[in-house]
Amino acid sequence: MWQVQSSKEPIRLFESDFLEFFTHIHPAIVLIIWIPVVVVFAFYGLILRPEGTSLLYYPLCLMVGLILWTLTEYGLHRFVFHFKPRNDWQERLVFLFHGIHHAQPMVKSRLVMPPVVSIPLALLFYNLYLFIIGRLLGQPHWVYPLFAAFLAGYLLYDLTHYSIHHFDLKSTYLKMVRRNHMLHHWKTQDKRFGVTNTFWDFCFGTRVKED
């Protein structure tokens, strides 16, 4: 279990100033990068459908994309960010990805995913969906709205995570997920992996009864 550091000065991760620069990111940058991508994919999902195809697939793909994001959010947090290292280099890598956030959970510039991580992950998932849905299922036009919703889900995740740590939230639902996430930080780092929801924690047995 990672221990919270008392220092308010962000822990330096790299000796190189160039590399260190990419470990800090303002949430506005995430919006600037990804909102246009979401809009483009959503638009192409409408105009590139085969002639005569019903538009009923479009809202269905949006819904599936959002659901897939919530599952991805849970899976990445549980199995990648909280991967149990077996040697020193794995421990270093896990700390770079997520341990730093647990060590200093209130550092504002390390609450959203840096583009050097999010862009390769987005390309990975896009190509995965293109292969499964476009090639194996033969429905490439489904990929656009699904991936638009998937990225929108990611944006909601990043903004929710930032808000949980730094805003006075009024919404009952957001208060619930904030409490759940803070308990993940302070009491049960091996449980409560959902950030925007607790559904998959319930499904996979990592939800904890209210303390």
Domain residue limits, the chain: 26-204
What average pLDDT is seen over the chain? 92
List the end-to-end C-alpha distance of the chain, in Å, as a whole number: 20
Query: Distance (Å, rounded) from C-alpha 31 to C-alpha 155?
Result: 7
When pLDDT is cut at 50, 70 and 90, the band that residue 1 belongs to is low
| Full-model pTM | 0.93
Helix pair angle (172-186, 140-166), 10° resolution: 80
Q: Which long-range contacts (CB under 8 A, 24 or more apart) does 117-120 make?
A: 118/30, 118/33, 118/34, 118/154, 119/33
Is the pLDDT assigned to residue 131 strictly greater than 70? yes
Question: Which range is most confident: 9-18, 53-62, 174-183?
Answer: 174-183
Contact at 8 Å (CB) between 50 and 141? yes
Q: How far is CA 179 from CA 29, 146, 154, 173, 187, in A?
A: 27, 30, 20, 10, 11
Other CB atoms closer than 10 Å to residue 149's CB: what's the count?
24
**pLDDT tens digit sequence for 184-193:** 999 999 999 9
Tokens 């904890």 correspond to: 208
